[in-house]
């Protein structure tokens, strides 16, 4: 989303849901809408991890509820009849809650519409000392200009691709290394702003709190590609009923 404060607010809600131990996952597709409820089994044993939740953390969980229903009011991954989509979301949430014998308030949503556009950005800075620190990385990230896209689009994902230090590239974590010029390639994915707003509004009307929103092909790649494929490079094709 264009305002990164929204990302931080949503991230806080995700942490809150993990603390509670229960989270809903909703996939909004052109052919079906799916709701999965998961319960975290290890989070209560590691309360110190609450403030360090990122994509590298792995909490044990189990699926306790699942429901699927045919989509109505969605075309090419985008909501075109909000009332019908809300009815379907309510139904799959109710059915999955019944199976799980649990109520959910926060949900993470995936979708595949919005006409995504991907763009690579590069920035570099001089390190403050000879050794790269976390402060250097924060300074580097602050140099990026994320306001380079039209007002009708919002940032969906901003993913670091490659750190470079002087003439060395392909670094995943340059902290602690000696060098003078620190660079970073970022892949920026934007989508149509109104697509996100429609999803958010539907969830609000269903009395659900958005705790995360992701582009389906990104999640497909993260969940299916192994470490070697990610390092060497691979294409992950997400073939859906309305969008591919």
For residue 191, what are its two tokens?
């989508």
pTM of the model: 0.81
pLDDT in tens, the chain (244 residues): 445 567 777 888 888 888 888 999 999 999 999 999 999 876 554 555 544 445 445 567 889 999 999 999 999 888 999 999 999 999 999 999 999 999 999 999 999 888 888 888 899 999 988 889 889 888 888 888 776 677 788 888 888 888 999 988 888 889 999 989 999 999 888 889 899 999 999 999 999 999 988 888 888 888 888 888 877 888 888 888 888 8
Domains parsed from the chain with CATH numbers: 4-114+193-232 (3.30.420.40), 117-189 (3.30.1490.110)
pLDDT score at 2: 45
pLDDT score at 206: 94
What are the C-alpha distances in Å from 54 to residues 58, 73, 86? 9, 34, 30
pLDDT score at 42: 63
Contact 73, 242 (CB under 8 A): no
Contact 185, 162 (CB under 8 A): yes
pLDDT score at 156: 84
170 class by beta-carbon count within 10 Å (0-12 exposed, 13-18 middle, 19+ buried): exposed
pLDDT score at 96: 96
């Amino acid at each position: 989303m264009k305002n990164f404060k929204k990302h931080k607010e949503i991230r806080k809600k995700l942490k809150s849901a993990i603390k509670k131990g229960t989270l809903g996952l909703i996939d909004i597709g052109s052919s079906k809408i799916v709701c999965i409820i998961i319960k975290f089994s290890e989070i209560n044993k590691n309360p110190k991890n609450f403030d360090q939740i990122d994509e590298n953390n792995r909490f044990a969980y189990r699926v306790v509820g699942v429901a699927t229903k045919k989509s109505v009011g969605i075309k090419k991954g985008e909501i075109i009849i909000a009332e019908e989509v809300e009815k379907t979301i309510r139904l799959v949430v109710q059915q999955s809650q019944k199976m799980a014998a649990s109520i959910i308030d926060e949900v993470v949503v995936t979708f595949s519409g919005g006409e995504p556009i991907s763009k690579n950005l590069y920035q570099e800075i001089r390190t403050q000392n000879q050794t790269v620190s976390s402060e250097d990385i924060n300074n580097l990230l602050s140099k990026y200009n994320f306001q380079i896209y039209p007002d009708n689009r919002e940032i969906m994902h901003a993913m670091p691709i490659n750190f470079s230090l002087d003439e060395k590239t392909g670094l995943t974590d340059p902290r602690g290394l000696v060098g003078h010029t620190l660079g970073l390639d970022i892949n920026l994915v934007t989508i149509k702003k109104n697509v996100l707003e429609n999803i958010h509004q539907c969830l609000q009307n269903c009395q659900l709190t958005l705790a995360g929103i992701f582009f389906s092909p990104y999640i497909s790649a993260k969940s299916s590609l192994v470490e070697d494929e990610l390092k060497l490079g691979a294409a992950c094709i997400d073939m859906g009923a309305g969008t591919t």
